[in-house]
A and B are shown apart, each in its own frame.
Chain A
Amino acid sequence: MTPESTGRQRPARAPFSLRNAWHDVNTRAWIYQVLVVAGILGLAAYLIANAQHALAKQGISTGFSFLDARAGFEIGEKSIAFSSTDSFLRAYGVAILNTLKVSGASILLATVVGVVVGLGRLSTNPLMRKLASIYVEVFRNTPQLIQLVFWYTLIANLPRPREALSLGGAVFLSNRGLAVPWLADHAAPWILAAVVLAAFAAGGAARAVLARLARRHGRPWPGAALGSLAAAALPLAAGVALLWPLEITTPALRGFNFQGGLTLSPEFVALLLGLSLYIAAFIAEIVRSGVQSVGRGQIEAAHAVGLGRSDLYLKIIFPQALRVMVPPAAGQYVSIIKNSSLGVAIGYPELFNVNNTIVTLSGHTVEAIAIMMSIYLAISFVIAALMNLYNRCVQIRER
């Protein structure tokens, strides 16, 4: 072996033999993977063959063309018009809107209640702390389905509309649901919701862009705050202009039921309570651990530089706690959306419930279930992606 050849030639390979290949780490990996994939594909093929055979036997075709067929059933609650002559596709639309409606309201209520109870847990007042703890332990340790059925039964046992319980003569609670004053234009709330979201988005985006510009200058720029406020105000102004004048109607008893305003069905109210109050207990814990995660040293430093209580919370604790709280809170929100499927237990026409009907009426079990699965998965993934985006934006910069 000459000195030159040692540097430039690759070492000779071990002779190929099956024995050597078996022990080679890479070959082993390939073999495992091929086996696993082949196994799964084989199983899938076998199952699908069975299914196709069974469906053919029942004379059911496959494919998604059934979506255009006549639905043939009514849906009790709907945000858009729907009758039994409309298509299955439209039925899905109604179901998705119902799911989003109850999930959105539940997310809001759960957050409000959860934050209040969470802050109560942190209170220096032992009475408040105890009350908040009792709430968390009771609502967290009772299964959600029991809570849901409980609320539904409670509402069903309320008096009739004629003897409804009323709050201030404007809000009425009876076994036909909760009647509240509402905007006369039924599309208005959706527009308002969209406008508020747009304002938040615009304000947030403007603030991020302007802050980056300010940092580039090296000097603080007062225009940043004003700019983001203006950006947020634009959608709000547009919304108000669109909806003016805002008419409000109040529910009034006519005959056996209430007319005017907005009546939330017993199913909706029960599902709203069953979803929110349970998750609120978890959000309370998330808020509590988020605030407690801000180290004691931060609080002492804030006191040492003279920050008062409200400044301490607003500028020091809240921003840091928020970073810790948002990911698990988002998980809870996704949980609300998924658990809206419990509406099937009390007859609220959300996605799962309506899908069951569609399966029964159309016979296209596999396609319908695939559609439902995709919708739930899509919602979960969208929220997960938004969460990742949020996390990336608020990372505390480190070396």
Chain B
Amino acid sequence: MGQSALVSRAVVAQGRRRPPPQGKGGLLPWLRRNLFRSPLNALATLLSLWVLFVTLPRLLGWAVADAVWFSPDAEACKQAAGACWAVVPEKYRVMLFGTFPYDEQWRGMLVIAIILGLALYCALARPSARTVAASWMAAMALVFVLMLGGVAGLEPVSTHQWGGLPLTLIMFVGTVVGGVPLGVVLALGRRSSMPAIRAVCVGFIEVVRGLPLVTVLFMASLMLPLFMPEGMSIDKFLRAQLAMTLFFAAYAAEVVRGGLQAVGKGQYEAADTVGLNYRQKMIYIVLPQVGRIVLPAMMNEIIRAFKNTTFIGIIGMFDVLRATSTAIQDPVWVRYSIEAYLFIALLYLAMCYGMSRYSARLENELTVRR
């Protein structure tokens, strides 16, 4: 390339490592860069601020400033312009425990504490799978004893009287514990090489996924007794639990199916070549990998199952929502229904948000570890 005089040149640097220059600090530059970068941006900012200025003061005024927090006979509420949160201290026993006998509601409280406590423990302390399984089995056994009573000097309480948050939590745990294994079985069956099994699994999954949950619940509660022989009746709680579990299993099956496909073919083949049979291959090689892959999607389904527990109110069970609707039919409190619904909405919001944050954290850890 022999050229006489190169114009290009580069300077060998003498610079030392320096910390970054302090940005043009202060609020004003930050505002200009982030909120007012362009005309469109500025418009969006101003619009949002206007919306906030119009709604927020009035909302806070109603919800906090003018609100009544405590008023056993609702008199103070009638005078006040703000929210009547007093409905919560008055009615919380019915909202949270439904039709459970008043004097036995401490058992319901205990059930809530056990389930939420164990869930928090498993989430934070991360014990081994064996500990998790064993502790949940023990916990649920204890929960059933507490709810049903009849032993250890506890008053018997039939499942018809179960209600509120304990009912919601038990239904939720039962759905997940029963639905996940069933979903795995269905997903495996869907990939089976035996056409009859595949047809049955595909048929079940597609039909259940094509139906609304209320119809499945309805069919379980209404049609199932019809198909039972004379005199035999299945507890309503069990019917609802069956419906919720089957519904969840169909969706879980699709999630697991995605995971089974994502595990490379090479893994199946390697497992075959080292002498594992079908059961061992699945349990020790494939499903652990599937678990890691599908965890985010499965957590989504689980959170959805929790929200879906509100549907059992439609077939007459007194979950938190239906218990609340019933509680505020009290003529004294009926005009403050909004506050009651906001309260349980916040309750669900807190729990679901917590679960989704936890799920996000799990997902982060899994991606990093890989």
CA distance A314 to B197 in the complex (A): 47
B-side interface mostly: helix
Q: Which residues of A contact B311 (CB under 8 A)?
A: 145, 342
Query: Which residue of B193, B197, B222, B310 is within 8 Å of A365 (Cβ)?
Result: B222
CA distance A145 to B312 in the complex (A): 11
Query: Which residue of B228, B313, B349 is within 8 Å of A138 (Cβ)?
Result: B349
| CB of B48 closer than 8 Å to a CB of A | yes
CA distance A55 to B6 in the complex (A): 101
Q: Is the CB of A29 within 8 A of B226?
A: no
Query: Which residue of B197, B344, B356 is within 8 Å of A33 (Cβ)?
Result: B197
Q: Which residue of A lies closest to B307 (CB)?
A: A143
Q: Known: A29-B194, A143-B307, A372-B215. Contact between A50 and B356, CB under 8 A?
A: no
Q: Which residue of A lies closest to B354 (CB)?
A: A141
| CB of A381 closer than 8 Å to a CB of B | yes
Q: Which residues of B contact A388 (CB under 8 A)?
A: none
Q: Which residues of B contact A352 (CB under 8 A)?
A: 212, 214-215, 218
Chain A nearest CB, measured from B66 CB (Å):
17
Q: Is the CB of A380 within 8 A of B209?
A: yes
Q: Is the CB of A142 within 8 A of B207?
A: no
| CB of A394 closer than 8 Å to a CB of B | no
Chain B nearest CB, measured from A236 CB (Å):
32
Query: Which residue of A33, A137, A141 is within 8 Å of B196 (Cβ)?
Result: A33
Chain A nearest CB, measured from B234 CB (Å):
13
Q: Which residues of B contact A359 (CB under 8 A)?
A: 222
Q: Known: A51-B227, A123-B44. Contact between A145 and B35, CB under 8 A?
A: no
Chain B nearest CB, measured from A308 CB (Å):
13
Q: Which residues of B contact A149 (CB under 8 A)?
A: 321, 325, 341
Q: Known: A145-B321, A373-B215. Contact between A36 and B341, CB under 8 A?
A: no
Q: Which residues of A contact B71 (CB under 8 A)?
A: none
Query: Which residue of B227, B303, B314, B345 is within 8 Å of A150 (Cβ)?
Result: B345
Q: Is the CB of A153 within 8 A of B341?
A: yes
Q: Which residues of A contact B219 (CB under 8 A)?
A: 369, 373
Within 8 A of B (CB), among A16-39: 29, 32-34, 36-37
Q: Is the CB of A366 within 8 A of B200?
A: no
Q: Is the CB of B34 within 8 A of A145?
A: no
Chain B nearest CB, measured from A177 CB (Å):
18
Chain B nearest CB, measured from A267 CB (Å):
15
Q: Report A34-77 CB contacts with B as 1/0, cut-off 8 Å.
A: 10110010000001101101110000000000000000000000
Q: Which residues of B contact A137 (CB under 8 A)?
A: 353, 356
Q: Which of A86-94, A124-132, A182-190, A242-250 lies at the interface with chain B? A: A124-132
Q: Report B38-71 CB contacts with A as 1/0, cut-off 8 Å.
A: 0001001100110000000000000000000000
CA distance A127 to B345 in the complex (A): 25
| CB of A377 closer than 8 Å to a CB of B | yes
Q: Which residues of A contact B48 (CB under 8 A)?
A: 125, 127-128, 131
Q: Which residues of B contact A340 (CB under 8 A)?
A: 212
Q: Report B346-359 CB contacts with A as 1/0, cut-off 8 Å.
A: 00110011001000
Q: Is the CB of B207 within 8 A of A377?
A: yes
Q: Is the CB of B338 within 8 A of A150?
A: yes
CA distance A147 to B226 in the complex (A): 34
| CB of A157 closer than 8 Å to a CB of B | yes
Q: Report B301-336 CB contacts with A as 1/0, cut-off 8 Å.
A: 001000110110110000001000100000000010
Q: Which residues of B contact A373 (CB under 8 A)?
A: 207, 211, 215, 219
Q: Is the CB of B41 within 8 A of A124?
A: yes
CA distance A339 to B204 in the complex (A): 20
Chain B nearest CB, measured from A219 CB (Å):
39
| CB of A154 closer than 8 Å to a CB of B | yes
Q: Is the CB of B34 within 8 A of A36?
A: no
Query: Which residue of B210, B218, B222, B348 is within 8 Å of A380 (Cβ)?
Result: B210
Q: Is the CB of B321 within 8 A of A146?
A: yes
| CB of A97 closer than 8 Å to a CB of B | no
| CB of A341 closer than 8 Å to a CB of B | yes
Query: Which residue of A36, A53, A344, A365 is within 8 Å of B214 (Cβ)?
Result: A344
| CB of A345 closer than 8 Å to a CB of B | yes
Q: Which residues of B contact A125 (CB under 8 A)?
A: 34-35, 37, 41, 44-45, 48
A125, A369, A376 — which one has the most chain B CB atoms within 10 A of its CB?
A: A125
Q: Which residue of B lies closest to A130 (CB)?
A: B48
| CB of B229 closer than 8 Å to a CB of A | yes
Within 8 A of B (CB), among A114-138: 123-128, 131, 137-138
Q: Is the CB of A153 within 8 A of B337?
A: yes
CA distance A50 to B223 in the complex (A): 11
Q: Which residues of A contact B314 (CB under 8 A)?
A: 145, 342, 344-345
Which 8 A-B pairs give the minimum distances between C-beta atoms? A380-B210, A141-B352, A33-B196, A338-B212, A47-B227, A143-B307, A341-B212, A145-B310
Other than the given A352-B215, A369-B218, 8 more pairs (CB < 8 A) read A29-B193, A51-B227, A55-B226, A128-B48, A142-B352, A143-B310, A352-B214, A376-B211
* Chain A residues engaging chain B, CB cutoff 8 angstroms: 29, 32-34, 36-37, 40, 47-48, 50-51, 53-55, 123-128, 131, 137-138, 140-147, 149-150, 153-154, 157, 338-342, 344-345, 352, 356, 359, 365-366, 369, 372-373, 376-377, 380-381
Question: 17 pairs across A/B with beta carbons < 8 Å?
Answer: A33-B194, A124-B41, A125-B41, A125-B48, A141-B349, A141-B356, A142-B348, A142-B349, A144-B310, A146-B341, A153-B337, A157-B338, A352-B218, A365-B226, A366-B226, A369-B223, A373-B215
